[in-house]
Amino acid sequence: MLVTVLGFYGGYPYKGIGTSGYLLQNDGKNMLIDCGSGVLNALSNYMQPTDLDAVILSHYHHDHTADVGVLQYNWLAAKKESPLPIYGHTQDFVNFAQLTEPNATKGIAYNDYEPTEIGTLKFEFLRTVHPVPAYAMRITDKTGKVIVYTADTTYFDGLVDFSKDADLLIADTNFPEDVTGRKWHLNTKEAGTLAKDANVKRLMISHLPQTVDVETMLSQTQKYAEQIPVVNAFQGLEMEI
Ligand SMILES: [Zn+2]
Ligand SMILES: [Zn+2]
């Protein structure tokens, strides 16, 4: 599996860099995980967006879905024979319905009680703790390699089991360690500790804040991740799993 970061800011784009979007390529298939603001623009540097085989959305907050509408226009204009599948949860029927655009895209439901096969990958989902329904993803390829994406979430114990022994953990790390208490994202201490407790091979911190310098976020996370290597998401970062 090859992951390319197309956008990594939490909440809103900043200085030409978009919000959450990750291109996942495996076995000749091109998949997009989340489709935030600026992601379609970034994707077009790598391929025609009409070369996508699937989109998988963690939840319906704008910083994860802002470019879905323009992606649908792109597919409409291309007059492709079959629609682009967009996978989403059905805990919000209004937003799920919008994943289907006639002659462009088709919404497909996933759930957290059975895996979803997309290409040759197995996607498992776990409901996170967030103001709206959101789902973390555990993605396993046919060789057994695993990527876990936390999506947006506050810390909860279930994340450790769900992330266990992953080859790559992509963690929503929106706050420095001194931001504690009630919040809807992980801080650096929680992301680093999660990586260590789950014994993952590598951690990528993402959904980063615009207002805290990345070196601080990285060094704080590394302190708690101990021996687990930590990288910060940046535009164009490619990780081969
Ligand atoms: Zn978000
Ligand atoms: Zn969110």
Q: What is the pLDDT of residues 195-213, one digit of tens each?
A: 999 999 999 999 999 999 9
CA separation for the pair 57, 24 (Å, rounded): 13
Ligand nearest to the CA of 131: 2
Average pLDDT, the chain: 98
CA of 146 to the centre of ligand 2 (A): 23
CA separation for the pair 202, 187 (Å, rounded): 17
CA of 143 to the centre of ligand 1 (A): 30
CA of 81 to the centre of ligand 2 (A): 33
Question: Domain of 143?
Answer: 2-235
Ligand nearest to the CA of 61: 2
CATH number at residue 225: 3.60.15.10
What is the structure's pLDDT at 74?
98
193 falls within a domain: yes
Q: Which two tokens stand for residue 59?
A: 């939840």
pLDDT confidence tier of residue 192, bands split at 50, 70 and 90: very high
Q: Which residues surround ligand 1, an ion (CB under 5 A)?
A: 63, 152
224 falls within a domain: yes
Cβ–Cβ under 8 Å, residues 188 and 205? yes
pLDDT confidence tier of residue 60, bands split at 50, 70 and 90: very high
241 falls within a domain: no
CA of 11 to the centre of ligand 1 (A): 5
What mean pLDDT do residues 60-68 have?
Answer: 98
CA of 134 to the centre of ligand 1 (A): 10
Residue type (1 letter), 193? T
E strands, 182-236, are: 186-187, 203-206, 230-232
What is the structure's pLDDT at 117?
98
The tens digit of pLDDT for each residue in 70-127 reads 999 999 999 999 999 999 999 999 999 999 999 999 999 999 999 999 999 999 999 9
Residue type (1 letter), 124? E
Q: How many domains does the chain have?
A: 1
CA of 107 to the centre of ligand 2 (A): 20
CA separation for the pair 191, 189 (Å, rounded): 6
Give the Cα-Cα-Cα angle 92, 149, 112 (nearest 5 degrees): 45
What is the structure's pLDDT at 65?
98
Q: Which two tokens stand for residue 18?
A: 């978009």
